[in-house]
Amino acid sequence: MGTDKRFELRMTGSGGQGLILGSIILAEAAIMEGKIVTQSQVYGAEARGGTTKAELVISSKHIAYPKVTDPDVLAAMTDEGLRQYGGGISRKTEVIIDSSVMTTPDFLNEESCRDLLALPIRSTLVDRLATELGLNIVLLGVIEGLTGVVSVETLRKAIGKHVKKQHLDLNMRALDLGMEMVEAQAKTGIRI
Amino acid sequence: MGTDKRFELRMTGSGGQGLILGSIILAEAAIMEGKIVTQSQVYGAEARGGTTKAELVISSKHIAYPKVTDPDVLAAMTDEGLRQYGGGISRKTEVIIDSSVMTTPDFLNEESCRDLLALPIRSTLVDRLATELGLNIVLLGVIEGLTGVVSVETLRKAIGKHVKKQHLDLNMRALDLGMEMVEAQAKTGIRI
Amino acid sequence: MRLDFLRSERLPNIWCPGCGNGIVLRALLEAISQLQLDPDKVVLVSGIGCSSRAPAYTAFDNVHTLHGRAIPTATGIKLANPDLSVIVLTGDGDCSAIGGNHLIHAARRDVDITVVVFNNYNYGMTGGQASPLTPAASITTTTPSGNMDRPFDLVNLATGAGATYVARSGIYFTKHLVDHLRKAISHRGFSLVDAVAQCPTYYGRFNRKGSAGQMITSQKDWMVLKNVADKKNPEELAGKVVIGEFVNIIGARQADIDAAKEQS
Amino acid sequence: MRLDFLRSERLPNIWCPGCGNGIVLRALLEAISQLQLDPDKVVLVSGIGCSSRAPAYTAFDNVHTLHGRAIPTATGIKLANPDLSVIVLTGDGDCSAIGGNHLIHAARRDVDITVVVFNNYNYGMTGGQASPLTPAASITTTTPSGNMDRPFDLVNLATGAGATYVARSGIYFTKHLVDHLRKAISHRGFSLVDAVAQCPTYYGRFNRKGSAGQMITSQKDWMVLKNVADKKNPEELAGKVVIGEFVNIIGARQADIDAAKEQS
Amino acid sequence: MPERKSYKITHYRKWCKNCGICVAVCPKKVYEIDRNDRHAIVHPQDCIGCQMCVDHCPDFALTVEEVKDE
Amino acid sequence: MPERKSYKITHYRKWCKNCGICVAVCPKKVYEIDRNDRHAIVHPQDCIGCQMCVDHCPDFALTVEEVKDE
Amino acid sequence: MNEHVVLMQGNEAVAEGAIAAGVRFYAGYPITPSSEIAEIMARRMPEVGGVFLQMEDEIASIMAIIGASLAGKKVLTATSGPGFSLMQEGLGYACMVEAPIVLLESMRYGPSTGMPTKVSQMDLMQSRWGTHGDHWIIVLSPASVEESYRLTIRAVNLAEKYRNPVIVLSDETISHLREPIDVSVSPTLTDRKLPVEKSGYLPYRTDISLVPAIANIGTGFHTSFTGLVHGESGFQTANGHVAEALVERLRDKLFNNLDDIIQFETDRVEDAEILFVSFGITARGVSETVETLRSRGRKAGALRLVTLFPFDDDRIRQAAGSARTIIVPELNSGQLVLLIKRVFGDSRKVVPMNKINGDLISPQDILDFLQEENL
Amino acid sequence: MNEHVVLMQGNEAVAEGAIAAGVRFYAGYPITPSSEIAEIMARRMPEVGGVFLQMEDEIASIMAIIGASLAGKKVLTATSGPGFSLMQEGLGYACMVEAPIVLLESMRYGPSTGMPTKVSQMDLMQSRWGTHGDHWIIVLSPASVEESYRLTIRAVNLAEKYRNPVIVLSDETISHLREPIDVSVSPTLTDRKLPVEKSGYLPYRTDISLVPAIANIGTGFHTSFTGLVHGESGFQTANGHVAEALVERLRDKLFNNLDDIIQFETDRVEDAEILFVSFGITARGVSETVETLRSRGRKAGALRLVTLFPFDDDRIRQAAGSARTIIVPELNSGQLVLLIKRVFGDSRKVVPMNKINGDLISPQDILDFLQEENL
Ligand SMILES: Cc1ncc(C[n+]2csc(CCOP(=O)(O)OP(=O)(O)O)c2C)c(N)n1
Ligand SMILES: Cc1ncc(C[n+]2csc(CCOP(=O)(O)OP(=O)(O)O)c2C)c(N)n1
Ligand code: SF4
Ligand code: SF4
Ligand code: SF4
Ligand code: SF4
Ligand code: SF4
Ligand code: SF4
Ligand SMILES: [Mg+2]
Ligand SMILES: [Mg+2]
């Protein structure tokens, strides 16, 4: 990420997936690297359960308008999330979807976004680490692998601040898994 | 009272004396004669007991400003009432005080008012009718005797609307008493 | 339960998986079905809270008012049109915190409405804060080290305020719940049913009450029928919640007024 | 009674001749005298009403709040400075109509304040309208043909809400009143004294209760001491008001919390 | 025969509202409301110092103290 | 020997939130929450028609009716 | 003498006006200086087959009349500043569910409990902005007992017609003033529009009037009311477009009808060089002053706002003629003058005149003011 | 990397700011979007030796903090629109007894319950005019998490200094936004002035500051508080002169110190031809837009109000430079613009820009608006 550039990330999925925490971890990592951030989410206190959205803007200088307007990355972890909050992307946007639980929607194509990265995130996590916890961290790994928006070390530190000791190892493996998935994909070159 | 003229009356005394009712009765009498009136009072709901003030404006045409500004008659039935609401009189004002319970204050003189009519209202009432009820009606009689602001017949009718049958006679006598007192005073010519 | 009492087009409801509100709502619709009330003459009035969303899932006239204000609104409706069966659906917070005054005054006036309290021991809607019915020592978002306040006993409160029908039931005991809802609605005068439900998302999670299924079946363990409880001593009842009918007085208000008239 | 507790320069008070408020105030000052409280550490808090003017006639710190809001204000004061003896002087309307919710919640929380209700059965300040403690069938300016509502029994209401000290007395029984005020103030936790006073100007006049003197001495006829009443049957007590101590529980709140902790 | 105690009644006219409560509660008829509706101490010598009037005066207008003659 | 009644269970998947309450209350273990956290009817034949599941489903997602074969 | 002319107190005129307008449900809580309205209604409602309820507080009072209104009654409550503050949340709810309600507010001296028996005009801005969120309320201001009667009727009619809360903003003086009024004229009454067709019924669907025909509770339409943002169905939604449309409609249903809603009175504005803009009781001192000034040869005029809100800058500007000096007397520290300044900008000299001692502004006060300020 | 820079949510910043400012008493009632403040205070107050109270409603909450304030604590409550409406009576009482209290209001979409999780700026005018009677409140408006922290401290200081309620008027977006803030700077704190001399002590006697040194309850001064009009003694009176003096003092104690109280921020106003006037979260979209416009060669500038009330026309006029076109973007149907129009009259073109769908005004929205309106 260029020092002056504004980096915008939007993540969407279902309530329990920890996407908001994911965005906070990434925000803290960016702060550790001296960046400015604004993190926000749809706040569902009076709209139970369902779909969630987390947003993060990272910049090396003051962030005036705090919300995502033209995301660099859109990560969608459920169909419903993509339906509700998948708008507002552009040719600039790298879209990540979890192909293990989602069907690729028609509206995502070369015209509407920069790239579509369809990865079987949930199923890979379950297969490889035999757990569903850490889905948000795998996603952070994917985003990190894709953008390198912060250094991996900082990201690990930020994760460490938020997870209990006994889960640290699992989470580090989840992060690695995410990054690996991007690498593998990059090698095959298959995206959409 | 000239048809166009605005007649202003202020009465002040203590809570139980029925001055407000007195002003209402006079107001209704005036209405019966086709006049316009505005009647008001200090409203003491959150200031228990004590001193009261009732005001009445009578005119043959529309009354814009509804309060007494330059009274034609000020009737004070207690010292405290006179102290609190005795201001705002002028050379135009005929002042009535109840000499049986009040001491004539210094500030009332030829300079400050038109005339001072000191009548032993309460004591005369008690002496003559052996009651204290009807003090307000005696006062109406005094005012009527002094100003003739409405016809005596109308005034009687208005009183009739407000008092119980069994008290009607007493009240009529109270009215007469008030008028008599003025007449007597007029004959003697003694005022201040 | 008459299925046409449900406004199917608005389902699924917004409640979390395992939320007790749906069970209370179902029991209420069952009670109304059993009473064969004319659906045109039933109105459900609620305040604000997860539970207060219930009326809008029914086919009846329904009024979603302000937080705590269902009861005075219902009072206005009932007195404007006494032909209606006016039922208030409210939360423990809605009716006993911000709405507490209206509750006791409706009980005192003995206005002919029925109040069904969806009692989940916390404020679900705003994220699991303590309510006046949150048990002592419980964890909520505003009692992070355990609730230092004592809760109301809603039955005692309503009784103390003069309610003429007071009952309590739990969502495990659906037949019991339906029975008491039916009696409450039929009661002429003010009636209240404390319907102990559950909020697995907040109260359950914070206080390690297990899954929604465990929460509901556990009512068997900590609830005691009133006729059983009446035979037990206080020690045996420690930690238990008694369910059943506590007050059922007919014609109380008129009797009181008549008596007073006689006295004076 | 320590006369220096009175703010003599503000006397005579604004109350009507024969109003019962002064008698309750005197009893309170006597209770405070007997308890030898440090006058710097006593604060009297009131709402709005004739009775709520009482604190301003004393030499203590005093807070005349809004109609119905004395209790939450007092709660804030007490918790901000627990060294203070915080006493709420309130009217029947002030504490049981608009302030009813605060009353029951303070009782539930068992906050260590004392509430003294100057209960004159109506809204004196605004001209004699009905209050929630106006007896059924009574005439007031808003019940011209007799009150069709039942009143609260303030003792039952406070008890139902969880109060740990509840007593009632009458202004005829000044020693009894002083005793119970003293106990209430000494009580650690929420205490309430329903001090039955009189409003000769409105309630007395509208209901033909006679002169102020007659109103006060008549309390002998319609009030019954609790220990006497306990031996009578309901018929014998019809139309009577029972005075005495109804609840006096020490350490209730902590006990409840401890018990709950043990359970969970 | 024990000496009969005597009492000094003080009446603050400025605060008194002539309500008649002291008249009603005094067991010894020490007070009256007179023809002019005013409070009057009519039989001070009958006072037994019971303090009923003091405790019931809503206007703090009365004190009754024992007169100690040394 | 009385004929054993049989029941038709209808599950509205659209309304079901897979909360597991029916699993917990069914005396006959007719339901399960499966590996994918989804409600499943696993032993419909064991159903005794007690309506526990129906009455306790917070989402109106179940009906159980007796199958009358004429 | 006209048999129908009776002496009435302002509060009584409100109560009788409401009854004449068809109000059959009153819920309230006593407060000086409006308590007499409750007391009169306690007697009168049973007489006319209506319901009188004394509630536990002002919050309950406004909610009870909203409930009764939704159940089809014409309703009233009355209060004063402290109670009005407590009613604010309910008032916003009434705006949102479009419940026709009428609220009498008699202004006394504030802030807080202030001086309960003294007059003020200090709640003007509160009547417009007291509740949270974007909302629109109709506020009418009587200047006499007779007008209290008439405007209460008008308030009920407007409430029903536009399905909106209407406030009659009176004051302590008018509430307690007694004047003769003629009650023989039978008023024209307006009833709310009701739906007829049950099939396809959507409570908040509107025609060009933008006023929905919402069924009364209990008439078989199975209507849904909520203070949350809702669409035509009446059910809650968090859809931004729906929200926008709703709030705009709540405004436009009134603003499209300003000709119907806005009333004011002018007195010799045409050639006025000095113009007084005022409302309520203050206008009466003004009117006498204008008379006096004219008699002295000064070209004075007056504009009295009868409808206070909606407030339309253009209409005021047009009504105000071309006076170079505009004086705004009011019984507060300057509220109406803020609006009048906005209307005229720098184009006129807008001079506030404020009295905040609990008394009225008398004609003499105004004359003195003119002299002191060299106006 | 600065160790003291932490990621904080707006609500958390308010809570921590309050603690840094010395607040040791919090009473509140949960409501979206301010509930986190209560939740944080429930944990933090015991940690810092303070008191956390969850009250039965918002009315009790504001009364409890007033009580605690009079007993000497620095206090806070937090709420949102519906709760704010309920607090209005208490707010006026705080003005009248001159209790230093701080109230955080996080604006959500209204009216009524509206859309609880959506942002608005619809309570601006309510914050000024919500309670009855003439009164003056200080209202501060943060535009970021960092400023939420800073302005909460400032609010506590101003409340203590002027013995007046201070509102921090935030919104749903800022409440839930997370941004880095540096909490290492220890703030300057202000404490209320207290009396020393008991003899002849009169609680409401003031020196030239017009701010009385009222004793805290329990310190032996035997003070008297009332919401009724009161003189220097603190005791109630219905004397008109006293009333007038009191209300004027309540105004002047703030208006004599506008330099201290009023803050705003300007951005390239000097040569601006088009000026944006805004507050709170909206100012952030504006600031980015100004950047963009400047980069395109347009002379744009911005004025952001940090202190919303007291509102001083002259100061605004001076700060606004000479731009001919003034655009007032806000998340409501037009509230700030009413004030700005008053300030500028016809001398400038004042254009409202309103968004009422529950979303923020983005830089793109503004650019589009300029295009559509040919500005
Ligand atoms: C005046 C006001 N204060 C606060 C809120 C926020 N609020 C909404 S629901 C609620 C509590 C709900 O609790 P409860 O009544 O128990 O219902 P539940 O969600 O648990 O079913 C609160 C505090 C509000 N909407 N309005
Ligand atoms: C919010 C509000 N509502 C109403 C009032 C008017 N008001 C003042 S005192 C009072 C009733 C007083 O009755 P109570 O508490 O019994 O006191 P009392 O005068 O009888 O001693 C009322 C309704 C008010 N001041 N504030
Ligand atoms: S938060 Fe609790 S009460 Fe609300 S819907 Fe979820 S489970 Fe039910
Ligand atoms: S009105 Fe009643 S309560 Fe008030 S002072 Fe007079 S007698 Fe006492
Ligand atoms: S009781 Fe007190 S106030 Fe009443 S008459 Fe006797 S001395 Fe006077
Ligand atoms: S002390 Fe007793 S006996 Fe003496 S005057 Fe008073 S009441 Fe009468
Ligand atoms: S109880 Fe209902 S919602 Fe829950 S899993 Fe069973 S069918 Fe689904
Ligand atoms: S009806 Fe009874 S047995 Fe059958 S599935 Fe439901 S709970 Fe199980
Ligand atoms: Mg709840
Ligand atoms: Mg009372």
pLDDT at position C264, please?
A: 63
C-alpha to C-alpha distance for C189 and C180, rounded to whole angstroms: 15
> Would you say residue G253 lies in a domain?
no
* Overall number of domains in chain B: 1
Nearest CA to ligand 1 atom 7: H31
Q: How far is CA H151 from CA C133, H2, H33, H105, H157, in A?
A: 36, 22, 18, 13, 9
The residue to mutate among E47, E55, E67, having the most atoms of ligand 6 within 8 angstroms of its beta carbon, is E47
Nearest CA to ligand 1 atom 4: H31
Q: Is the pLDDT confidence value at B2 over 50? A: no
Domain that holds residue H343: 265-372
Q: What is the DSSP string of G109-169?
A: E-STTBEEEEE--TTHHHHHHSSSSS---EEE---SHHHHHHHHHHHHHHHHHHTS-EEEE
> Would you say residue H208 lies in a domain?
no
Q: Which residue does chain G place closest to H83, by CA atoms?
A: G89
Nearest CA to ligand 4 atom 1: D124
Please report, for the domain that includes residue E35, its CATH number.
Answer: 3.30.70.20
C-alpha to C-alpha distance for A23 and A18, rounded to whole angstroms: 9
The overall average pLDDT reported for chain E is: 93
C-alpha to C-alpha distance for H294 and H292, rounded to whole angstroms: 5
Among D20, D73, D79, which residue's Cα sits nearest to residue D62? Answer: D73
Ligand 2 center from residue G271 Cα (angstroms): 50
Of H63, H89, H218, the CB nearest to D83: H218
Instruction: Tell me the nearest-neighbour CA distance from D168 into chain H, angstroms.
Output: 26
Domain that holds residue E45: 6-67
B26 in reach of chain G (CB within 8 A): no
pLDDT at position D13, please?
A: 94
pTM, rounded to two decimals: 0.97
> How many C-beta atoms lie closer than 10 Å to residue C223's C-beta?
20
Q: Is the pLDDT confidence value at G49 over 80? A: yes
Shared-domain flag, residues H288 and H156:
no
Both tokens of residue G294?
């004219």
The response to whether residue D15 sits with its C-beta less than 6 Å from ligand 2 reads no
E59 and D13 in contact by Cβ < 8 A? Answer: yes
What is the arithmetic mean of pLDDT over G184-195?
94
> Would you say residue A2 lies in a domain?
no
pLDDT at position F2, please?
A: 60
Which of B36-50, B84-98, F33-47 bottoms out in mean pLDDT, i.e. has the lowest? B36-50
Could you say which of G165, G182, G199 is where a domain stops?
Answer: G182
The response to whether residue D49 sits with its C-beta less than 6 Å from ligand 2 reads yes
Q: Is the pLDDT confidence value at A45 over 50? A: no
Instruction: Tell me the nearest-neighbour CA distance from H149 into chain A, angstroms.
Output: 16
Domain that holds residue A142: 7-185
What is the arithmetic mean of pLDDT over H346-365?
96
User: What confidence tens digit (pLDDT) does each residue in B45-92 have?
Assistant: 444 567 899 999 999 999 999 999 999 999 999 998 999 888 888 889
pLDDT at position G301, please?
A: 98
Of A32, A34, A39, the CB nearest to H178: A39
E29 compared with A4, residue with greater pLDDT:
E29
Q: How far is CA A48 from CA C9, C13, C202, H172, in A?
A: 18, 10, 12, 18
Among H126, H156, H116, which residue's Cα sits nearest to residue H30? Answer: H116
C97 in reach of chain H (CB within 8 A): yes
Q: Is the pLDDT confidence value at A191 over 60? A: no
Which of A41-55, B87-101, C178-192, G153-167 bottoms out in mean pLDDT, i.e. has the lowest? A41-55
Label residues G195-208 b or e (16+ Cβ within 10 Å = b): beeeeebebbebee
Q: Is the pLDDT confidence value at H1 over 70? A: no
The response to whether residue H114 sits with its C-beta less than 6 Å from ligand 1 reads no
Structural domains of chain C, ranges and CATH numbers in brackets: 3-263 (3.40.50.970)
Please report, for the domain that includes residue B63, its CATH number.
Answer: 3.40.920.10
C256 compared with H52, residue with greater pLDDT:
H52
> Would you say residue E1 lies in a domain?
no
Shared-domain flag, residues H118 and H11:
yes
- The region, left, alpha or beta by phi > 0 then psi within -120 to 50, assigned to residue D204 is alpha
pLDDT at position E6, please?
A: 94
Shared-domain flag, residues G13 and G126:
yes
Residue to mutate among G23, G51, G61, G70, with most C CBs inside 10 A, is G70
pLDDT at position A113, please?
A: 86
> Would you say residue E10 lies in a domain?
yes
Instruction: Tell me the nearest-neighbour CA distance from G131 into chain H, angstroms.
Output: 6
> Would you say residue F13 lies in a domain?
yes
Could you say which of G182, G211, G243 is where a domain stops?
Answer: G182
> Would you say residue E46 lies in a domain?
yes
What is the arithmetic mean of pLDDT over G264-284?
98
- The region, left, alpha or beta by phi > 0 then psi within -120 to 50, assigned to residue B18 is left
> Would you say residue F56 lies in a domain?
yes
pLDDT at position C180, please?
A: 98
> Would you say residue F1 lies in a domain?
no
Angle at G37 between CA G151 and CA G120, to 5 degrees: 70
User: What confidence tens digit (pLDDT) does each residue in G307-337 have?
Assistant: 999 999 999 999 999 999 999 999 999 999 9
C124 in reach of chain F (CB within 8 A): no
pLDDT at position B192, please?
A: 44
Q: Which residue does chain D place closest to C100, by CA atoms?
A: D101
pLDDT at position F35, please?
A: 86
- The region, left, alpha or beta by phi > 0 then psi within -120 to 50, assigned to residue G265 is beta
- Residues 202-221 on H with a CB inside 8 Å of D are 217-221
> Would you say residue G259 lies in a domain?
no
> Would you say residue B191 lies in a domain?
no
- Interface confidence, given as ipTM, is 0.97
What is the arithmetic mean of pLDDT over D100-118?
98
Which ligand sits closest to the CA of E60?
A: 5
G82 and D67 in contact by Cβ < 8 A? Answer: yes
| pLDDT tens for chain C, residues 1 to 264 | 899 999 999 999 999 999 999 999 999 999 999 999 999 999 999 999 999 999 999 999 999 999 999 999 999 999 999 999 999 999 999 999 999 999 999 999 999 999 999 999 999 999 999 999 999 999 999 999 999 999 999 999 999 999 999 999 999 999 999 999 999 999 999 999 999 999 999 999 999 999 999 999 999 999 999 999 999 999 999 999 999 999 999 877 777 777 877 766
Shared-domain flag, residues G269 and G165:
no
> Would you say residue H39 lies in a domain?
yes
* Overall number of domains in chain H: 2
> Would you say residue A180 lies in a domain?
yes
Shared-domain flag, residues H154 and H270:
no
pLDDT at position E2, please?
A: 60
C-alpha to C-alpha distance for H293 and G350, rounded to whole angstroms: 38
What is the arithmetic mean of pLDDT over A4-22?
90
> Would you say residue G95 lies in a domain?
yes
> Would you say residue A152 lies in a domain?
yes
- The region, left, alpha or beta by phi > 0 then psi within -120 to 50, assigned to residue D247 is beta
> Would you say residue B26 lies in a domain?
yes
**Is-contact D61 D7, C-beta < 8 A?**
no
User: What confidence tens digit (pLDDT) does each residue in H202-253 have?
Assistant: 999 999 999 999 999 999 999 999 999 999 999 999 999 999 999 999 999 9
C108 and D147 in contact by Cβ < 8 A? Answer: no
pLDDT at position H329, please?
A: 98
> Would you say residue G205 lies in a domain?
no
Please report, for the domain that includes residue G173, its CATH number.
Answer: 3.40.50.970
G256 in reach of chain C (CB within 8 A): no
C-alpha to C-alpha distance for G70 and G218, rounded to whole angstroms: 9
Please enumerate, as own/partner, the contacts of G315-319 that have beta carbons within 8 Å and a separation of 24 or more.
G315/G258, G315/G262, G315/G264, G316/G264, G316/G277, G316/G340, G316/G343, G317/G343, G317/G344, G319/G264, G319/G266, G319/G269
Please report, for the domain that includes residue G308, its CATH number.
Answer: 3.40.50.920
pLDDT at position C1, please?
A: 87
Task: Kindly state the DSSP code that residue D158 receives in the 8-state scheme.
Answer: H
Residue to mutate among D65, D87, D88, with most H CBs inside 10 A, is D65
Ligand 9 center from residue C93 Cα (angstroms): 5
> Would you say residue H317 lies in a domain?
yes
What is the arithmetic mean of pLDDT over G114-131?
97
> How many C-beta atoms lie closer than 10 Å to residue E4's C-beta?
7
